[in-house]
């Protein structure tokens, strides 16, 4: 456990809270505390399985009946989590329950909220999922419970938004119940890290809440990192993703500059990465996807306005990244024109990859949808191939693509496309085969580095 020296904005200890905290601490130590997880998606399901595997009784809550049905059958609905992983974890739990009724939190000792925090169309934070959930569970909060928010958000959300809603129950945080923030750090599909091995940051509203959250996560996570307040823990998550966003934007800008100079940015990065100090490699692409990096930095941008401060780096990075799909489409249009004297209008284009990153079935904020939009606005006909995403689900920004299905590829079908655009470099794709049979390939991920480059354009 590591401690932070940051200034604290926590609620002071209250004498009435000590007995309740001691009771819950004992339940956590004995692994009899019922842990409820609200939101069983890419964050919530692994977390629920982690607590189940550690021997806790678990209660999974989600409005999606298909997810609940799968869990009852000990089946997965996320591809990088196997049926065996679900079955093994649930077999170790003292008790497993799932429910769609949030009133069931009354049966829990710990409530962990893992819900999305998207942006509005004006890039303002949308906390509606958190607010509605807090409103729904407030009447069922009981003394001695620990409530933890894991959803990424702006510093102050736990204290300024969630706690006041929960206190409409008549109970008080740090006195009657305990509240903390612990940012999720899931990286779906990463074989090197999982929920157990990624250090867990925790910051509570008061010392009791912090100690309880620390004890809870320490029960199955290798290392916890305690900070002084929920605000600090919220800021940690934003800082991590802003760091990545700015550096990814930087290498994308370098990609454009070096391409104009005839220099391969991938070769530059790989060579620079041999320096054993002072450099960390980041890689360009067609834009950013996933729930974190394209969204989280703007939560701090929004909050900074309250203090009359500008976030120039953050907004510039967002602007660069947002322009990457247009850059890719421009490189494609240029390639079709110079090589075949053909325009995008009427061209048949195949996208390889719909997921936002390789080897996952997650397409939240994927740049592939923006690329399709830009291509079709210019008259191109588009299809996609992605065995991880057999069908495009409903999305907030592009509901018109709902139901489009992945197409199969072979030598004949590849040759029928005017161009192939590699958006996601899944490991189960034969890129050499594509290179041999495609007329033109626009590679946004350096997936064709080992193939014949004659018909490949890097973008």
The last residue of one of the domains, among 192, 219, 237, is 237
- pLDDT, tens digit, 9 for 90 and up, residues 233-262: 999 999 999 999 999 999 999 999 999 999
Return the pLDDT at 80. Answer: 86
Residue 244 domain-assigned?
no
Q: Contact 300/154 with Cβ under 8 angstroms?
A: yes
Work out the pLDDT band at 64, boundaries 50, 70, 90: very high
Average pLDDT over residues 78-84: 92
Return the pLDDT at 15. Answer: 57
Residue 273 domain-assigned?
no
Question: What is the average pLDDT score of the chain?
Answer: 93
pLDDT(317) > 60 = yes
Return the pLDDT at 8. Answer: 42
pLDDT(69) > 70 = yes
Residue 347 is part of which domain span? 325-459
Are residue 215 and residue 348 in the same domain, yes or no? no
Are residue 85 and residue 221 in the same domain, yes or no? yes
Return the pLDDT at 14. Answer: 58
Work out the pLDDT band at 150, boundaries 50, 70, 90: very high
Average pLDDT over residues 305-329: 92
pLDDT(198) > 90 = yes
Q: For the chain, give the percent of residues with pLDDT over 90.
A: 83
Average pLDDT over residues 187-202: 88
pLDDT(416) > 70 = yes
The last residue of one of the domains, among 187, 206, 237, is 237
- pLDDT, tens digit, 9 for 90 and up, residues 132-142: 999 999 999 99
Residue 177 domain-assigned?
yes
Average pLDDT over residues 203-224: 97
Are residue 93 and residue 197 in the same domain, yes or no? yes
Are residue 220 and residue 80 in the same domain, yes or no? yes
- pLDDT, tens digit, 9 for 90 and up, residues 163-186: 999 999 999 999 999 999 999 998
Work out the pLDDT band at 264, boundaries 50, 70, 90: very high
Are residue 214 and residue 329 in the same domain, yes or no? no
177 vs 121, which has greater pLDDT? Answer: 177
Return the pLDDT at 193. Answer: 86
Residue 129 domain-assigned?
yes
Provide the token pair at 71.
């869990």
Work out the pLDDT band at 452, boundaries 50, 70, 90: low
CATH of the domain at 397: 3.40.50.720
Are residue 211 and residue 353 in the same domain, yes or no? no
Return the pLDDT at 291. Answer: 67
Residue 390 domain-assigned?
yes
The last residue of one of the domains, among 183, 212, 237, is 237
3-state helix/strand/coil string of the chain? CEECCCCCCCCCCCCCHHHHHHHHHHHHHHCCCCEEEECCCCCHHHHHHHHHHCCCCEEEECCCHHHHHHHHCCCCCCCCCCHHHHHHHHHHCCCEEEECCHHHHHHCCEEEECCCCCECCCCCECCHHHHHHHHHHHHHCCCCCEEEECCCCCCCHHHHHHHHHHHHHCCCECCCEEEEECCCCCCCCCCCCCCCCCCEEEEECCHHHHHHHHHHHHCCCCCEEECCCHHHHHHHHHHHHHHHHHHHHHHHHHHHHHHHCCCCHHHHHHHHCCCCCCCCCCCCCCCCCCCCCCCHHHHHHHHHHHHCCCCHHHHHHHHHHHCHHHHHHHHHHHHHHHHHCCCCCCCEEEEECCCCCCCCCCCCCCHHHHHHHHHHHCCCEEEEECCCCCECCCCCCCHHHCCCECCCCCHHHHHHCCEEEECCCCCCCCHHHHHHHCCCEEECCCCCCCCCHHHEEEC
pLDDT(4) > 50 = no
Number of domains the chain contains: 2
Q: For the chain, give the percent of residues with pLDDT over 70.
A: 95
Work out the pLDDT band at 414, boundaries 50, 70, 90: very high
pLDDT(48) > 70 = yes
pTM for this model (two decimals): 0.88
Residue 355 domain-assigned?
yes
pLDDT(299) > 90 = no
Residue 137 domain-assigned?
yes
Average pLDDT over residues 33-53: 96
6 vs 383, which has greater pLDDT? Answer: 383
pLDDT(423) > 70 = yes
d(Cα 262, Cα 213) in Å, to the nearest integer?
Answer: 53
pLDDT(413) > 90 = yes
Are residue 223 and residue 83 in the same domain, yes or no? yes
Q: Say whether 114 is catalytic.
A: no
Are residue 18 and residue 162 in the same domain, yes or no? yes
Are residue 224 and residue 329 in the same domain, yes or no? no
Among 292, 354, 363, 451, the one annotated catalytic:
292
pLDDT(327) > 60 = yes
Residue 274 domain-assigned?
no
- pLDDT, tens digit, 9 for 90 and up, residues 152-162: 999 999 999 99
Average pLDDT over residues 284-293: 81
Work out the pLDDT band at 420, boundaries 50, 70, 90: very high
Q: Contact 424/357 with Cβ under 8 angstroms?
A: yes
Return the pLDDT at 7. Answer: 41
């Amino acid at each position: 456990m590591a401690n932070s020296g940051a200034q604290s904005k926590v609620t002071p200890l209250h004498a009435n809270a000590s007995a309740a905290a001691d009771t819950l601490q004992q339940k956590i130590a004995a692994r009899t505390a019922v842990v409820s997880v609200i939101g069983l998606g890419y964050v919530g399901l692994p977390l629920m399985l982690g607590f189940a595997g550690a021997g806790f009784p678990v209660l999974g809550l989600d409005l999606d009946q298909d997810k609940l049905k799968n869990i009852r059958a000990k089946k997965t609905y996320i591809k990088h989590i196997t049926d065996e992983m679900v079955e093994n974890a649930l077999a170790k739990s003292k008790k497993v329950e799932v429910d769609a009724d949030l009133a069931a939190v009354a049966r829990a000792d710990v409530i962990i909220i893992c819900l999305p925090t998207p942006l509005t169309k004006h890039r303002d934070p949308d906390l509606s999922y958190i607010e509605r959930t807090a409103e729904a569970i407030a009447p069922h909060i009981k003394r001695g419970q620990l409530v933890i928010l894991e959803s990424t958000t702006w510093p102050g959300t736990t204290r300024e938004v969630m706690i006041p809603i929960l206190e409409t129950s008549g109970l008080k945080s740090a006195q009657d119940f305990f509240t903390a923030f612990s940012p999720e750090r899931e990286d779906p599909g990463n074989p090197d890290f999982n929920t157990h091995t990624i250090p867990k940051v925790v910051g509570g509203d008061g010392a009791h809440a912090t100690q309880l959250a620390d004890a809870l996560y320490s029960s199955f996570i290798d290392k916890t990192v305690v900070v002084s307040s929920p605000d600090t823990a919220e800021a940690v998550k934003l800082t991590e993703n802003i760091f990545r966003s700015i550096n990814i934007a930087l290498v994308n800008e370098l990609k454009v500059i070096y391409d104009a100079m005839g220099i391969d940015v991938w070769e530059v990065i790989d060579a620079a990465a041999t320096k054993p100090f002072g450099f960390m490699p980041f890689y360009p692409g067609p834009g950013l996807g996933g729930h974190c990096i394209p969204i989280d930095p703007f939560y701090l941008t929004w909050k900074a306005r309250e203090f009359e401060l500008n976030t120039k780096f953050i907004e510039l990075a967002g602007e660069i990244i947002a322009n990457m799909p247009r850059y890719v489409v421009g490189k494609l249009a240029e390639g079709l024109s110079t090589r075949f004297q053909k325009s995008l209008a009427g061209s048949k284009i195949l996208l390889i990859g719909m997921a936002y990153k390789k080897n996952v079935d997650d397409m939240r904020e994927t740049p592939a949808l923006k690329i399709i939009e830009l291509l079709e606005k210019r008259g191109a006909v588009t299809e996609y191939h992605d065995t991880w995403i057999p069908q495009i689900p409903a999305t907030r920004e592009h509901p018109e693509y709902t139901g489009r299905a992945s197409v199969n590829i072979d030598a004949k079908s590849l040759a029928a496309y005017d161009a192939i655009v590699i958006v996601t470099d899944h490991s189960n794709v034969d890129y050499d085969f594509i290179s041999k049979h495609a007329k033109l390939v626009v590679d946004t991920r350096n997936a064709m580095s080992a193939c014949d480059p004659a018909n490949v354009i890097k973008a």
